Amino acid sequence: MVLTLVASIGLCSCVYRFTNLHVSAPEGIRTVSVESVYDTTREILPHELLWEELQRTIAAEGHLMLATRSKADALLRVRIKNARFSPTGTVVKPQSMAKDPSTISPSQESMPSYREFRNQTEAAELMPSTAVLIEVDVQLWHLEKRTLLFEKTYVQSESFLSVRPSTSPRNNHLRENEAFRADFGRMSKAIAEKVVADLLIKSS
């Protein structure tokens, strides 16, 4: 008896959570296909993260169902049209070499070990963080009627720590890529949530 009651409450809570009477899908649209994201910027961006977040958010919201293009009522078309990177923060000096190889004469009897020379991995001053701004065009097309149902441009910005002065500069490039990918993932999630909220028709 107790287990039955708990199960019933759990099922009711799920229905309440995923059914929102104040929003609905556009008329005649029940299934949507998310087209691969077009990236027309000149930057190297992990745009697949935006594509994944859009599908994940649509599925989690529940008012629209994902489908292939051949079976969908509408097509969601996304284009990243602009991306800007702006280094910020206090300048970080690159590590200098412990010894200058040009001062070592080849005639010396004992040459120093290569370990005594510190690799010059950076050729210029570095900024510890980077601000990123992207502009994304989103369109929703009715596939049967071939009409544009929705169109909007989204602007999202974030900043990430690209250089950590306390660690070796040898891995700066890898750390920057990892930080940017995580940052772009957060930006993609924020954009996806805005897109899905805008696609739904709000009613009283």
pLDDT tens track for 116-141: 544 444 444 555 678 889 999 999 99
CATH architecture of the domain with residue range 21-96+114-199:
2-Layer Sandwich (3.30)
Residue 33 three-state SS: strand
**For the segment 9-60, what is each residue's pLDDT rounded down to a tens digit?**
344 433 333 444 467 777 889 999 999 999 999 888 999 999 999 999 999 9
**Alpha-carbon distances of 115 from 78, 97, 112, 118, rounded to whole Å:** 51, 11, 8, 7
Q: Is the model's pLDDT at 191 over the cut of 70? A: yes
- Put simply, whether the predicted model's pTM sits higher than 0.75 gets the answer no
- Residue whose entry in the numeric block shows the structure tokens 């039955």: 4
